[in-house]
Amino acid sequence: MSATPAKVKSLIDGLIQSVTGLTPQEDPENFNLCRDFALRNFRGYKFGRTNQFDVGSKLDGLEEKFRVFNRDDLADAFRSRLNELPSLTSGFTPEILSLFLSLSDRPLQNSDISDLELLVKPDAPREFTWEDIIADDPMEGEIWKDVDFGAESSDEWSDDGYTRPRSRDEFVESLRNEAEDRRRKALGAGSGDSDYKASGVEGFIVQGDEKGLELLKKAQYWREKVLPIGREIDVSLASGGVNNISLISEIQAMREVIFMLLGYPCLLFHRKPNDATILVDTDDTTKRFALSHASLPAFRAILSWYADKGTNINVIRTFTRSEISVTDFPEHQTFVASVCDKLAVLDQHLIKLEELLLVGNKGLDQIVSLLALQGELEPFLTPFDLLSDIIAELLKTGKPPADLALQHLGSLFQLSCRLQSIGDQISFKFITDIFFNCLQTYLRPIHRWMESGELREDDEVFLISKNRSDEEVELGGLWNDQYSLRKDASGVLKAPVFVHAAATRIFITGKSVVFLKRLLERDIPSCALPLQPQPVSAVDINLSTVCGNGEYLAPFSDMFAAAFDKWINDRHHSVSSRLRDILYQDCGLRKSLDAIECIYLCKNGHLFDTFSQAMFEKVDKGVQTWGDRFLLTELLQGIYGGVGCVEVGRVRMRAKMEGTKSLRERRRTVKMWKGLELNYALPWPIMNVIRKESFEVYNNVFTFLLQIRRAKYMLERLTLLKEDFRILGESGEGAVYYSLRHRLLWFANIVYYYLTDLVLIPQTIHMRQEMARAVHVDGMIQAHNTYIQKIKDQCLLGAKLTPIHQAVTSILDISILFSDAHLAHSTALKTLDAPSASIHDISVFISSHTPRRHRRRQNQTGEPCDNYQSDSNSDSEDYEEDNFEGMNSYISFENEAYARQIGHISERFNTLLEFVRAGLRGVARAGVMPHLEVLAEDLEGPGRGGGARGE
């Protein structure tokens, strides 16, 4: 410090006198303490001066930066002011410039040259002087002439001290001097230190308001103690003593209450540390404060009531300032803002009450009472009690912010319904105001989703989530795979309770818009698409639209549901019906259903027979290429090419043969036809209605019908020749043969009739009717899925009906076994009876048609096995294990062996038939499918107890 210690000491003395008012004469002890303290701080100064060269280097670098970034205008203005700086410099110029550099915030980006114009002071208006007045109106004429009154007076008046009036020039000069003095004072011109010394420190001292200070001290009631005199000792206070008790007036207590409700600290109430609870410390309060005209219990009771209200208010205020209120979710932000608005209204009301306590009500006298204030505040504070309960519940849940963002909406809605039901209109209006403010924010993404099919990016709150992007999702799964309703782990929709009923419609409407956009991209006729979004409704959902003209007779939940449904349905019906019509008319849904019914469900029996017989003939002839996928596809396309609803280019078929069995072995069972896979490629819009999973059921139905057709084909081709009549009649086998063939045909026809006429046709008609009545795509999908499930169960393809289906398949295998046995027997008879047959031919035929198992025994023992009973028993055991798959279809042509084989087949057929009928009756009696009882009765067929049952 460059100043001398003596000068510093004198300056410090003056500073102490001006700040504290202490002087060395009046209070030397305190004055010296202040002086020593100041000197120690001055002497402890250890900071060096700012490096002026460093500051200059930084300023030059800043100018160069401006020019590098092509801000020459800014650099020129900066340099011109740096050049002017030396003329205005002072001892602390480097420090000031260093401070400016430290406070600067990106001067290159944030500086604008036009801002310098704001620093130019406007020209001061020109002062109106006497010269201007005289120049405008010169002082000429008789009236302005100087008059010498002394010339006409007597001599006795000349020496009486009378001053002669000033002349005009003197008057103008005096005015000019006064104006100059005023100008000099305004500019602060003076003699500097001489004026200061002349005026003294007293000119800077402001006199305090002693009267106001006394009033302020008197208002601090906690400093005024009860005096031990009779007039200030009340009966209510005498029992507890009056030591350290301060008497307060009701107006002072009311101000304390208002301070507490406004969230300010006060004496009568205190707050728990790290908590929002406001408490009245009963022991402390009753020992320190009292009302002179009220008992202590009464005083504590009313303060406790205010403390409870203040606790609820403080919970709300703490919530608005806490970290949980600062989120990125607009729904939660709106709730916090609405709560803050309600607090602002309460604060304004409390401030007005405080103003009335201070200044009165237009000069009118008023009664000040804590009870009156309680009655006036209770209607305002009761709704805040309810709101604090909602906020406290939010704070206790501990859920992530995304789950808390919508919890308040459900709580507000339920509370509104409860308040309306009990008739609390004040609280109902308070809560519904907050509810509808939050609802408007919540409805904006719903409106956007229903209008344009768009979602907010990274939205974790909205009830709909996007599972796959537009590039990842397949067009065939666009409707079901890209979007889904957001649900929690327990499967509950993450949305307010009042949205649950309409969530599906909201979801479907937005998906319909997305679907329409994709159709428009795929060149679907644009005339059938809504190119421009339609407004949902011009009326917002608020209290007036929900409750009408203030009519609260109906429950609030019902009125709100009606208004919300109307708001949703205005858009839902138009978009959903448009998409349904486009699927039917432009995308060919009806044509696709006809094609599926024709190909998979064999609606055209003639075409189905033509296709199946062509395959059966190839298989029976042993054509190894019968299952080539190109040949099968060509055959199918050639047969169904003339059907208008079938696009043959979409039809594909292939055969998947598993295992190493030969074609001769595989043809003996209908299970070989399960390897056929029929595929009809639908357009991608239709694939969203008829899901890919449905074709598995369609293929199973087609396979079941083909298996039945195979059994019928094998039975119907059996013909009786003249030799057959002779042999069967002689041996008595005719009754068994005819009975078994007839019952097998009856069984196949009844099952085929049941599947086609009693299941597929009526269920298909019902499905088409339901799809036509559906108002949206989800309804159509649900109708088709229900149809698929019904035909799966009623066609005996369900998982619980697998034993019955396997038994039916085994009976169909018996039909093939019976047909092969009879054909082998007939062929053997014709070969033996041929006149030209030689011994060699007969022996070759016998060796080729002898069962393998029989030949193996011959080879093992070296003797022919004539005991067919043992062979038959072995075959029966093999059938028990693998449902006739291991039984040889080529039966011995000997009459006795053939008769035994037919009898065994008939016995096995009766056993399986009884199992099927019993199973069908069991399912029917369980109440699942009662119509199966009729099928069980029809399968018995005519001629019960006939020859087919016994031998």
pLDDT digits (tens, 9 = 90+) for 625-678: 888 889 999 998 999 988 888 888 899 998 887 666 777 778 888 888 888 889
Question: What does CATH list as the number for 589-830+909-937?
Answer: 1.20.120.1900
Coil, helix or strand at residue 652: strand
d(CA 901, CA 460): 72
Tell me what pLDDT residue 403 has. Answer: 73
| Element at 746 (helix H, strand E) | helix 734-753
d(CA 304, CA 279): 7
693: phi then psi, degrees, rounded to nearest 5: -65, -25
CA distances from 359 to 220, 353, 354, 371, 804 (A): 19, 10, 9, 20, 96
CA distances from 14 to 11, 23, 364, 553, 656 (A): 5, 9, 52, 80, 112
CA distances from 630 to 196, 566, 638 (A): 118, 56, 12
Tell me what pLDDT residue 699 has. Answer: 93
- Within 10 angstroms of residue 879's Cβ, the number of other Cβ atoms is 20
3-class DSSP string for 245-268: CEEECHHHHHHHHHHHHCCCCCCC
Structure tokens at 942: 């005519």
Residue 602: is its pLDDT beyond 70? yes
CA distances from 289 to 247, 282, 286 (A): 6, 10, 6
Predicted TM-score (pTM) of the model is: 0.64
Q: How confident is the model at residue 729 (pLDDT cuts 50, 70, 90)?
A: very low
Q: Calculate the dihedral angle through the C-alpha atoms of 250, 251, 257, 263, rounding to the nearest 10 degrees.
A: -160
pLDDT digits (tens, 9 = 90+) for 290-320: 777 777 788 888 888 988 888 889 889 888 8
Structure tokens at 277: 């609870």
Rounded mean pLDDT, 340-364: 83
Residue 805: is its pLDDT beyond 70? yes
Query: Domain-by-domain residue ranges, the chain?
Result: 5-44, 52-112, 243-396, 461-586, 589-830+909-937
Residue 854: is its pLDDT beyond 50? no
**Which residue in this structure is represented by tokens 């969203």?**
688
Tell me what pLDDT residue 706 has. Answer: 92
Rounded mean pLDDT, 770-778: 88
| Element at 677 (helix H, strand E) | strand 676-680
Q: Give the dihedral sign, CA 758/764/765/766.
A: positive
Burial of 329: CB neighbours in 10 Å, binned 0-12, 13-18, 19+: middle
Burial of 124: CB neighbours in 10 Å, binned 0-12, 13-18, 19+: exposed
d(CA 636, CA 631): 9
Cα 818–chain centre separation: 65
Tell me what pLDDT residue 878 has. Answer: 39
d(CA 538, CA 632): 60
Q: Which residues share a beta bridge with 732?
A: none
Q: Which residues contact 365 (CB under 8 A, 6 or more apart)?
A: none
d(CA 907, CA 950): 7
Q: Give the dihedral sign, CA 825/830/833/837.
A: negative
Cα 856–chain centre separation: 74
pLDDT digits (tens, 9 = 90+) for 776-802: 888 899 999 999 999 999 999 988 899
Tell me what pLDDT residue 883 has. Answer: 41
Q: How confident is the model at residue 364 (pLDDT cuts 50, 70, 90)?
A: low
More confident residue, 881 or 813: 813
Tell me what pLDDT residue 944 has. Answer: 53
Beta-strand relationship, 246-248 and 289-291: parallel
Q: Which residues contact 94 (CB under 8 A, 6 or more apart)?
A: 49, 50, 51, 52, 55
d(CA 326, CA 320): 9
Give the CA radius of gyration of the chain.
Answer: 54
Q: Which residues contact 131 (CB under 8 A, 6 or more apart)?
A: 176
pLDDT digits (tens, 9 = 90+) for 47-91: 667 888 888 898 889 888 888 888 888 888 888 888 888 877 777
Rounded mean pLDDT, 282-287: 61
**Strand intervals (E) in 374-492:** 464-466, 483-485
Burial of 701: CB neighbours in 10 Å, binned 0-12, 13-18, 19+: buried
Residue 180: is its pLDDT beyond 70? no
Cα 544–chain centre separation: 27
CA distances from 681 to 243, 642, 695, 782 (A): 99, 18, 10, 21
pLDDT digits (tens, 9 = 90+) for 674-719: 888 899 999 888 999 998 889 999 999 999 999 999 999 988 887 6
Highest mean pLDDT among 18-22, 166-170, 570-574: 18-22
Coil, helix or strand at residue 655: strand
